[in-house]
Structure formats: structure tokens, C-alpha cells
């Protein structure tokens, strides 16, 4: 059974940094597309970044140049380094795994394309 567990959320002032982690278990980690999503109150869940089984990455325009997705296959852990945080980055952040498309992140911004989700971690950015 696939399990994902996020950590690292918290409160930070605008311009600050946070690193989120997502510990994965229950499957061969390296064969999946892994994504970070976020959901702000009253808004739909949106894709933030993704990394495919070969390590290729994609980012939402709103976070390009500020966020970096990475993974440590040996530790079965996904990361999201968030720099230059803005109040509009405030949201609950979720990690997700996709294997139905072979781990190639073909539809990485599509919430419905992912097969497993973590419980989320809250990030609050104050101005």
C-alpha cells in the first residue's frame, strides 16, 4: 500500500524559505511521477511542481525560479525547496504519486491523474 507523508510546513514571513519533505513507502519509489500540489482556502487544488522517473522537472509559472523540486531515491523522499515566499503561496501543500502513466508526468497538473496523496502540510506566509 502506497503511503505518503508530508512534513516541513510552518509559518514564515514574506521573502523567507521553507523546505517541505514527503516520505514515501509501500512501492518502488523510483518508478513514479511525484508531484507537489497546493490548495488555498476557497480555491481548487493546483499543481506546483513535478519530477518524473528520469528526474525531469516541471513547474507552475507562479513558482518558477523560486521553488525547486528534488528527490532522494535512496531515502524514498521527495522535497520542495521554497524560496522568496510570498503571501499568495499560503496554502496546504500535498505530495502525490502517479504510476498509471508509467511515471512520466504526462498530466502532472491534473489532480485526477495522481494515484496516491499525502495528508498535507500547511504553509503560511505573512506579509
3-state SS assignment for residue 87: helix
3-state SS assignment for residue 97: strand
Within a 10 A sphere around the Cβ of 75, how many other Cβ atoms?
Answer: 12
Q: Could you tell me which of 87, 84, 98, 89 has the C-alpha nearest to residue 4?
A: 98
The torsion of the CA quartet 24, 25, 31, 34, rounded to 10 degrees, works out to: -20
Tens-digit pLDDT profile for residues 15-32: 999 999 999 988 766 688
Tens-digit pLDDT profile for residues 73-109: 889 999 999 999 999 999 999 999 998 888 899 999 9
Amino acid at each position: 500500500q502506497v503511503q505518503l507523508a508530508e512534513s516541513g510546513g510552518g509559518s514564515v514571513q514574506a521573502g523567507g524559505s521553507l523546505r517541505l519533505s514527503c516520505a514515501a513507502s509501500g512501492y518502488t519509489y523510483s518508478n513514479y511521477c511525484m508531484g507537489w500540489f497546493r490548495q488555498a482556502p476557497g480555491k481548487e487544488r493546483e499543481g506546483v511542481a513535478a519530477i518524473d522517473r528520469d528526474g525531469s522537472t516541471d513547474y507552475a509559472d507562479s513558482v518558477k525560479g523560486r521553488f525547486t523540486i528534488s528527490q532522494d531515491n535512496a531515502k524514498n523522499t521527495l522535497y520542495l525547496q521554497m524560496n522568496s515566499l510570498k503571501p499568495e503561496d499560503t496554502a496546504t501543500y500535498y505530495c502525490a504519486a502517479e504510476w498509471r502513466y508509467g511515471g512520466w508526468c504526462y498530466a502532472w497538473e491534473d489532480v485526477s491523474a495522481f494515484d496516491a496523496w499525502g495528508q498535507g502540510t500547511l504553509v503560511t506566509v505573512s506579509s
